[in-house]
Structure 1
């Protein structure tokens, strides 16, 4: 099955705003080197047939005074699945244009000059911006270094931030610790599965670590290699001799064809879409479920969870997939300005599995100094009980 990013249009879609946003969205997709076939466009009439709760989604809901309760059943499904919804209204009364079940959401009044902002909300939610599209390439230099470099260049052209040890690790760093740490921050792991590589301890460790973190694994299998049982946990791509330049695959300088590279890029995009949804659902879903157990209600907006407390205090919980950075804490402060509310409390939620201990300690130290606090996944239950 090919996994795609789902762009969903609901409400009053027969207006210029809907069409303009869709056209401008794909203009931006093309400008950063992505392809149309990575996305599934879904409307109310195709929702039941095309929608999957296992793929990353973003929803534009367009308001209308005469159709304010349109597509309620679909909205209930999307809200239950924790999908991000951006309500857009056109008049002066937000609540008069959109269904009651999304009144709690932070809608946007349509302004033609703000279309780029609306599109960026979708990009941020799907993690399609450059700094968020991260890839890890693992290989043995003795027999696949040239192919690793080919893939590095190809994925950089496709708007990925690529981790390759030749380029990415400072010589002064602890190599194995740094590899685990960097892999935690990636969306997809590519393994160049050669005979030398498959016999290494690191090969199996990577797959175990990636599956613990729900990171997608794509194995590029050399023609003379036979997949092992652990390959069942990966997306395999079996290479043939004809996929190599001059049909030579027996040395580190061998290269694969451009057609083969393009097929690998497409496969990685599919795996990324699937696993991004799984990681987001796991992190957000576990936090929401723990809150429900304790009788608390959270609403999912386009990039965060919202909890409303007494005295008009609002808490925003922002999921950080991968490794939270100090900049993420700083960047989160913009939500306070965006929502024009000084009573907003901000939190980053994240999974600390396989993140370096010193980095977790750094984040805990930042908790004492910054307005934005971090909450580890393993602490969700305790934090919600005490706060």
Structure 2
């Protein structure tokens, strides 16, 4: 069976369906998933043959005439997530059936011809991408402040939770602890690569720690600046003189929109890379104590066979766990009829000590889900149940 099933419904043209399918295919390959095997996409009437055990979401293309009304009504009645979407210039109320109008719609932008945002929204619904959309902006205030403020506001308006040091640290908070905490919970770092960026030890640490945590970096290079080769592997946007309206920004409209779309695309690569890293560390520890990884299930759950032949399900989590994360894992395990309490596995490095203490308290109080640090996985699983 497929682990994930998606549907493209409504008035989508063959070209639109093909474009969205191609973008989804590129994103799921970041996770090592195969279209048609691990992920199945249903078009129009095919959705009636979906597997109810698989994680599912649909996108409904508004327009005239309204299509797939019966099957979409059935999906909504079954509480399956359906994302209504319209093209730029269409009116939501006129283009989407009434029973879908209570859902927040997605307008497809003209500057997103690959439908990256729609593909990401579908993958968020089935749990491949997390719903938190977090971006960290790394910059020198003396060189790129206006551009940083512009990106903060634009990314925020596009649904991202953006960290900017001048906006997001409360008075009296420990500055660096909060900064590292927010960094390790980010999907993408936007690095404004100006001539003096590496002259600051703080920005040097930011880029170094982002790479240590396998957070994808989008490097925006200032005009006439020769960047260091230390960041050559980063996704890059080169600015020319016409792309900057002032020495420190803002960035011209067309170019800044390109930056936002690249951030959207990098999310899946970043989350996949961090997920694979946690999974790899978990596998190594499990095998070291005589256990084995048996299978990967829906919602990226991992079946672990312990050395005493007991089976548990582990859920690697990217970023910082919360009580909401524990609840989500418990619900997914319950829906999959997993008998033992599921295990949430996370990387604690960079998380504030106050939050680590909170996580320990949650683990002591909430028994529906257990939580372990991936760096201590072998140690914890060797004594599992004691």
2:357 is the counterpart of 1:357: no
Alignment of 1:47-58 (within 5 A): 53=29, 55-56=30-31
User: Which of 118, 123, 127 lines up with 1:125 in the alignment?
Assistant: 127
* Deviation at residue 213 of structure 1 after TM alignment: 0.4
- Residues of 2 paired with 1:181 and 1:234: CA distance? 22
Which residue of structure 2 lines up, in the alignment, with residue 315 of structure 1? 312
Q: Secondary structure at the match of 1:315?
A: strand
Q: Does structure 1 retain, via aligned residues, the 8 Å contact 2:326–2:344? A: yes
Q: Secondary structure at the match of 2:292?
A: coil
Q: Secondary structure at the match of 2:315?
A: strand
Q: Which moved more, 1:205-214 or 1:157-166?
A: 157-166
* Deviation at residue 353 of structure 1 after TM alignment: 1.8
The structure-2 alpha-carbon separation of the partners of 1:271 and 1:340, relative to structure 1 and needing over 3 Å to count, comes to closer
Q: Deviations over 1:68-124 (max 9, x none)?
A: xxxxxxx5xx6xxxxx78999979xxxxx99xxxxxx95479963337348888424
Q: Does structure 2 retain, via aligned residues, the 8 Å contact 1:308–1:314? A: yes
Q: Deviations over 1:233-273 (max 9, x none)?
A: 4323221101123xx32xx4x31111111221222233322
TM-score in terms of structure 1 length: 0.69
Instruction: Name whichever structure is richer in helix by fraction.
Output: 1
Q: Secondary structure at the match of 2:348?
A: coil
Q: Deviations over 1:34-58 (max 9, x none)?
A: xx6696355xxxxxxx7985x1366
- Residues of 2 paired with 1:57 and 1:128: CA distance? 17
- Residues of 2 paired with 1:306 and 1:336: CA distance? 12
- Runs of 5+ consecutive residues of structure 1 not aligned to the other structure: 1-8, 12-17, 31-35, 43-49, 62-74, 79-83, 92-96, 99-104
- Residues of 2 paired with 1:51 and 1:155: CA distance? 20
The structure-2 alpha-carbon separation of the partners of 1:352 and 1:85, relative to structure 1 and needing over 3 Å to count, comes to farther
* Deviation at residue 186 of structure 1 after TM alignment: 0.3
TM-score in terms of structure 2 length: 0.69
The structure-2 alpha-carbon separation of the partners of 1:305 and 1:145, relative to structure 1 and needing over 3 Å to count, comes to same
* Deviation at residue 386 of structure 1 after TM alignment: 1.9
Q: Secondary structure at the match of 1:255?
A: coil
Which residue of structure 1 lines up, in the alignment, with residue 80 of structure 2? 116
The structure-2 alpha-carbon separation of the partners of 1:206 and 1:170, relative to structure 1 and needing over 3 Å to count, comes to same
User: Which of 355, 363, 377 lines up with 1:380 in the alignment?
Assistant: 377
Q: Does structure 2 retain, via aligned residues, the 8 Å contact 1:58–1:125? A: no
User: Which of 280, 288, 299 lines up with 1:285 in the alignment?
Assistant: 280
Higher relative contact order (CA 8 A, sep 6+): 1
Which residue of structure 2 lines up, in the alignment, with residue 14 of structure 1? none
Q: Deviations over 1:286-326 (max 9, x none)?
A: 323443452434322221223579xxx86332221011112
- Residues of 2 paired with 1:136 and 1:38: CA distance? 29
Q: Does structure 2 retain, via aligned residues, the 8 Å contact 1:169–1:178? A: yes
* Deviation at residue 190 of structure 1 after TM alignment: 1.0
Q: Supply the RMSD in Å over aligned alpha carbons.
A: 4.0
User: Which of 250, 255, 261 lines up with 1:255 in the alignment?
Assistant: 250
Q: Does structure 2 retain, via aligned residues, the 8 Å contact 1:38–1:270? A: no
- Runs of 5+ consecutive residues of structure 2 not aligned to the other structure: 57-70, 84-120
Which residue of structure 1 lines up, in the alignment, with residue 7 of structure 2? 21
- Residues of 2 paired with 1:193 and 1:179: CA distance? 19
Which residue of structure 1 lines up, in the alignment, with residue 60 of structure 2? none
Q: Does structure 1 retain, via aligned residues, the 8 Å contact 2:291–2:305? A: no
Q: Which moved more, 1:274-283 or 1:193-202?
A: 193-202
Q: Deviations over 1:176-223 (max 9, x none)?
A: 121111100001111212234331111211121011100011221211
The structure-2 alpha-carbon separation of the partners of 1:317 and 1:10, relative to structure 1 and needing over 3 Å to count, comes to closer
Which residue of structure 1 lines up, in the alignment, with residue 103 of structure 2? none
Q: Does structure 2 retain, via aligned residues, the 8 Å contact 1:169–1:175? A: yes
